[in-house]
């Protein structure tokens, strides 16, 4: 199987769906003439033309609104945010229009739209460009929220998202666009709401999603050297969440660590903790541990970034806490 970059997997997904359905189009800042801020849409303008790969002004509220209007009139827009930090400008349109369209119209209007772009920390970009809003959007009925961790999942999930009749928030990372992974040439789809066990294990369950899966898998590899077998689960989507896969894993391992980049209050980690203690409490041999970013805006200094974000050392510490509890 060939290896391609994360950005190439996204590009293939969009291009294949645009060839398959003439109602699909891409719109956002610098997606056309500049080939995308992160070169995800490179070459798409040449193939599909300016009516289907559309550059916009710096006006997220405006072009997100155009997208929602197009979606309710039979088109299937892909709206790219240069970063999900900028989606806050358009959050009224996303939350109060796209997410509620089907419900408030009494089922008369679907809103088949994908909002996609990078999320979270990407180095020294400052507090306003380094935030995670997966849990914000996941808190909203009517939205689906997808956060892939590798090129294979990214392509299959994006194709599914574009075909979905509901609005989908599709969150990536600048730090993953150059990642390579095996992606088949034949068409495939991955269902939204189905987690994937990336590494089987027997002693402790580690749950994560998105780029922090790299941290979870690296910590599991280090723990293996100490004879601790970690089962690593990639949620892949955080609305809906595949609770069943997590609960069944915890029933096997009796221990749970959740690793997530977002702030701790009202996080996905908090939600999973509640669900597991409700449905697998008698199986737990230790309190659930979570590894989140510190509850502060992300600083600019690299030493402080390292101190605040989840990392392998913090994850290993959490694993040892559930393994060696007195």
In the chain, % helix, strand, coil (3-state, to 5) comes to 40, 15, 40
Distances (CA, A) of 33 to 23, 53, 66, 197: 21, 9, 20, 39
Distances (CA, A) of 227 to 77, 223, 258, 288, 320: 49, 7, 20, 20, 12
What is the strand order of the sheet 256-259 is part of? 196-199, 230-234, 204-208, 256-259, 289-291
Q: Which of these, 204, 222, 216, 203, lies nearest to 150 by C-alpha position? A: 216
Report d(CA 52, CA 49) in Å as an integer. Answer: 6
Which member of 8, 60, 134, 174 is catalytic? Answer: 60
Question: What's the gap between Cα 210 and its chain centre?
Answer: 5
**129 among known catalytic residues:** yes
**60 among known catalytic residues:** yes
Which member of 8, 129, 172, 271 is catalytic? Answer: 129
Catalytic residues: 60, 129
């Amino acid at each position: 199987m060939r290896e391609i970059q994360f950005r190439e997997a996204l590009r293939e997904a969009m291009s294949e769906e645009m060839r398959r359905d003439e109602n699909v189009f891409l719109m956002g800042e610098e997606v056309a003439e500049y080939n995308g801020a992160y070169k995800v849409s490179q070459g798409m303008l040449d193939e599909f033309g300016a009516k289907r790969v559309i550059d916009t002004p710096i006006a997220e509220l405006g072009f997100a609104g155009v997208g929602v209007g197009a979606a309710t009139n039979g088109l299937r827009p892909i709206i790219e945010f240069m970063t999900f930090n900028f989606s806050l400008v358009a959050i009224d349109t996303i939350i109060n229009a796209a997410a509620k369209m089907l419900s408030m119209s009494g089922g008369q209007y679907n809103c088949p739209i994908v909002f996609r772009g990078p999320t979270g920390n990407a180095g020294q970009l400052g507090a306003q460009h380094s935030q995670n809003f997966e849990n914000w959007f996941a808190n909203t009925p009517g939205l689906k929220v997808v956060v892939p961790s590798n090129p294979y999942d990214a392509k299959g999930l994006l194709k599914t998202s574009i075909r979905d009749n509901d609005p989908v928030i599709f969150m990536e990372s600048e730090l993953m666009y150059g990642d390579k992974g095996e992606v088949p040439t034949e068409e495939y789809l991955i269902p939204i709401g189905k987690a994937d066990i990336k590494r089987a294990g027997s002693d402790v369950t580690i749950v994560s999603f998105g780029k922090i899966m790299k941290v979870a898998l690296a910590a599991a590899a280090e723990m293996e050297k100490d004879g601790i077998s970690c089962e690593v689960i990639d949620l892949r989507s955080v609305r809906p969440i595949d609770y069943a896969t997590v609960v069944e894993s915890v029933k096997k391992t009796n221990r749970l660590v959740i690793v997530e980049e977002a702030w701790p209050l009202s996080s996905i980690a908090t939600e999973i903790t509640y669900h597991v203690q409700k449905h697998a409490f008698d199986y737990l041999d230790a309190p659930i541990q979570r590894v989140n970013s510190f509850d502060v805006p992300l600083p600019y200094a690299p030493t402080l970034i390292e101190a605040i974000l989840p990392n392998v050392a913090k994850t290993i510490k959490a694993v040892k806490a559930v393994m060696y509890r007195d």
